[in-house]
A and B are shown apart, each in its own frame.
Chain A
Amino acid sequence: MDFDDTPEEAAFRAEARAWIQANAPTHLEAELKRAGFASSGIDSEDPMAASKAWQKRKAEAGWACLNWPKEYGGGARTPIERVIWGQEEGIYGSLSSPFIIGHGMCGPTVMAWASEDHKRRLLPPLASGEEIWCQLFSEPAGGSDLAGLRTSAVKADDGSGDWIINGQKIWTSGAQHSQWGLLITRTNPDAPKHKGLTMFFLSMSTPGVEVRPIKQANGQSGFNEVYFTDVRIPDDQRLGAVGQGWEVSLTTLMNERLSIGSGMSTGFPELFDFCLQAEVDGRPAVDDASVRSRLAQFAVKQSGLKYTGMRAITALSKGETPGPENSIGKLVAGATMQELAMFALDIQGQSGAIQDESSPMNARFQQMLLRSPATRIEGGSDEILRNIIGERVLGLPGDIRVDKDVAFRDIPTSGRK
């Protein structure tokens, strides 16, 4: 049991550190450091341009998508090396946020299912950040129940083999910046819901694709609605067989889990700093007994997540595959962050309601309060994660389903009679 690097790991760390010191955009360090929550913090230049510049530089030197093969723009490194890289990259890692969905989910799906030609065309510019991808999965009718999606793909009747897409996606993060999308559709409404799905990729500039930003509850516009009106996709942009879309989507979702060790933040270190500075009744907040008790509660969650991540990395380094037990990361981090934000505002008293330049720590806790509800929904809601732990880790029976083995078109669509 130790936290030490092996000699090879230490050598890799030294190499990564040296390269980062020589190449990172250090002129952005101060801005990145005082970034609030859910914002890049960069206002001296275009944040997207800054992200793309750093990604490109990394790709040119072989530090992008470390675990991908070299021929697809990656670094051909081990999972542990990827973790070490993340530790060394530190705050500059936050510049990668526009690429997370592409690198973490779309890329691995393309790698597993696309033709060799497509992989060589699509993956290197994805790795280098020159092209951004989005995930066109959720729909108004199906988020948790992804297989309930209704966007249709029908063979064109002109003999071209092309597919014609009609329908609507929703909550698509980053669609407004994306060149490419990973799109799941329904090709057979007469089959049971999981059997009639087919996966494609498409250029977001294909005629008939319309992206409309949605204003989020916190005032930002990270996600979008995407409408498809008679959008034509060539058959060679299909991933997997017709009707195999559900299986293909599982590759995407499984890869979410592989991005473990990135260590989801709960906001505890910032809260602790804040409690050392802030005053309650003329004394540092941290001296207050009730504050100490709450802080301890948050501290053990933060540390529990940190060491759970390290245990997962240990397993990964022994060649084990990360399993559904890794669902606990987001489940704990999301709920903790939300409670923690409320608590930080409580310490601020009535002024906690104010969100402006006067708010402590660049209003980070106000931002956290308003963003954290989304963490508990996106990428699998708290309830879905509890189902996964209950069923896949503890082996409890699945829900009794009323929508299995029924033709998709016969499943009811509204709860109101």
Chain B
Amino acid sequence: MNLDFSDDQKQLQDQIRRFLSEKCTPAVVRSGLEGGEPFARDLYRGLAEMGVLGVAIPEAYGGVGLSHLELCLAAEELGRALAPVPVASSIYLAAEFLLQAGTEAQKKAWLPRLASGESIGTFAFVEGQGRMTPDKVAAAVRDGRLSGAKSPVPDGDIADLAVVAARSGAGRGEQAISLFLVDLNGPGVTRETLASIDPTRSQARLAFEGAPAERLGGEGEGWAIASQVMDRAAILMAFEQVGGADRALSMARDYALDRMAFGRQIGSFQAIKHMLADMYVSATLARSNCYYGAWALASGSSELPVAAATARVSATQAFQHCAKNNIQVHGGMGFTWAFDCHLFYRRSNALALALGSLSTWEDLLISRLQGANTQAA
């Protein structure tokens, strides 16, 4: 048994961490927040050149051809650095959709461009408030043309390609839903950037009026494929969350050592010390659950759906917990625009909703444990 990454993988992680600590400066992270570009274009190019974007994409499609384990560690570093880049949309989701369900031609057309960062992909799924269900999908494709609207779409304002979940064919319920590739630079697409709680990763509303759409995967299989791919993305996202939680914890620890009040370091007050200990506990539990997820992802285990929901629930809570208490430890300073605490707080709460809310994933986890239970019986 070995529940750890290899030395080579850790070395790669170190390399990515060093690159990000040099290039992903606070000014870069804040650019979107201060009304600059919606994402850090140079940083994204740098990540592509390092092979981070294509790390888990096979060489035949322009990737590096390593495994998802390397991608997990890259995700952790992107989370730690609060990198304002569309890796989740383009790599964990769009590329993963192509790998799981694309035809040879679709993979050849898009994967090299996603791996090189030349194009950005995203997943256009949600329509409006609340948990997504098949009934809520109003967007529809007729004769290869998509009409309807998707909102919010992460990175929808900067993406070139969207995987869109839409109604088509005669199926009912989940079977009514299929997936389509839509070139967002083509005709029939309008985009509108949306204001959000975390401007370091942009969100948009996409409206489609007869936009050309090419089916990805079988007719009526869209819901099933999406749920499979979202599980995979959830594990990668959980690594981002754990990276963020870790960083929020270490900021809080450093501040607790520096800051003096009542003639002593605030870290010597048990109220603060125990708060930090609890942050460490939740971050550690989440990390361990993520390793379970990484194993399931890389080994193609049938436990993947359980592992994904477990990692996701655990990491969502850990990041929210560490980010909110990081502000608390910083006192008044934590509530200033100038300190970075709020960036982690924003990101932790945005990631908690990306891919579906905490309560959605809690519910999925229990359904899957029930399924595993009946199988075992």
Contact = CB atoms under 8 A, between A and B. Distances in A.
A167 B278 CA distance: 38
B366 A296 contact: yes
A300 B287 CA distance: 11
Given A2-B299, A286-B370, A400-B264, A304 B3 contact: no
A314 B256 CA distance: 32
B265 A397 contact: yes
Contact of B284 (A286, A303, A308, A400): A308
Q: Quick one: which of B277, B288, B299, B363 has the most chain A CB within 10 A?
A: B277
Contact of B3 (A1, A295, A387): A1
Interface string A1-38: 11111000100000000000000000000000000000
Q: Quick one: which of A272, A286, A394 has the most chain B CB within 10 A?
A: A394
A390 B256 CA distance: 11
A219 interface: no
A307 B359 contact: no
Interface in B235-280: 253, 256-257, 264-265, 267-268, 270, 272-274, 276-278, 280
B257 A395 contact: yes
Contact of A307 (B3, B362, B363, B366): B3
Contacts of B4: 1, 311, 314-315
A259 B270 CA distance: 28
Contacts, number: 153
A216 interface: no
Contacts of B359: 293
A331 interface: yes
B366 A396 contact: no
B291 interface: yes
B235 to A, nearest CB: 13
Interface residues of B, number: 48
A295 to B, nearest CB: 5
A299 B288 contact: no
B39 interface: no
Nearest to A1: B295
Contacts of B273: 386-387, 390-391, 396
Interface in B301-321: 309-310, 313-314, 317
A303 B277 CA distance: 19
Contact of A3 (B1, B69, B294, B369): B1
A242 interface: no
A396 B267 contact: yes
A295 B2 contact: no
A339 interface: no
Contact of B276 (A1, A286, A292, A390): A390
Contacts of A299: 310, 313, 365-366, 369
Contact of B285 (A2, A292, A301, A399): A301
A303 B3 CA distance: 14
B60 interface: no
B369 A272 contact: yes
Interface in B174-217: none
Nearest to A284: B370
A332 interface: yes
Given A2-B2, A310-B1, A397-B257, A389 B281 contact: yes
A314 B3 contact: yes
Nearest to A309: B288
B289 A1 contact: no
Contacts of B370: 276, 286
Nearest to B256: A396
Contacts of B274: 383, 386-387, 390
Contacts of A391: 273
B5 interface: yes
B285 A332 contact: yes
Contact of A394 (B280, B310, B369): B280
Nearest to B1: A3
B44 interface: no
A398 interface: yes
Contacts of B288: 303-308, 310-311
A328 interface: yes
Contact of B362 (A293, A303, A398): A293
B161 interface: no
Interface string A318-337: 00000001001001100000
A101 to B, nearest CB: 26
A297 interface: yes
A121 to B, nearest CB: 37
Interface in B339-377: 359, 361-363, 365-366, 369-370, 373
B1 A314 contact: yes
A400 B272 CA distance: 14
A393 interface: yes
B94 interface: no
Given A394-B253, A396-B273, A1 B5 contact: yes
In the complex, the 6 A-B pairs of residues with the closest C-beta atoms, listed nearest first = A304-B285, A296-B362, A307-B288, A390-B273, A386-B277, A396-B267
Interface of A: 1-5, 9, 80, 272, 276, 286, 289, 292-293, 295-297, 299-301, 303-308, 310-311, 313-315, 317, 325, 328, 331-332, 383, 385-387, 389-391, 393-400
Interface of B: 1-6, 69, 253, 256-257, 264-265, 267-268, 270, 272-274, 276-278, 280-281, 284-286, 288-289, 291-292, 294-295, 298-299, 309-310, 313-314, 317, 359, 361-363, 365-366, 369-370, 373
22 contacts: A3-B3, A80-B1, A296-B363, A296-B366, A299-B310, A299-B369, A300-B289, A304-B284, A308-B288, A325-B284, A328-B280, A332-B285, A386-B273, A389-B277, A389-B280, A390-B267, A390-B274, A394-B280, A395-B253, A396-B273, A397-B265, A397-B268
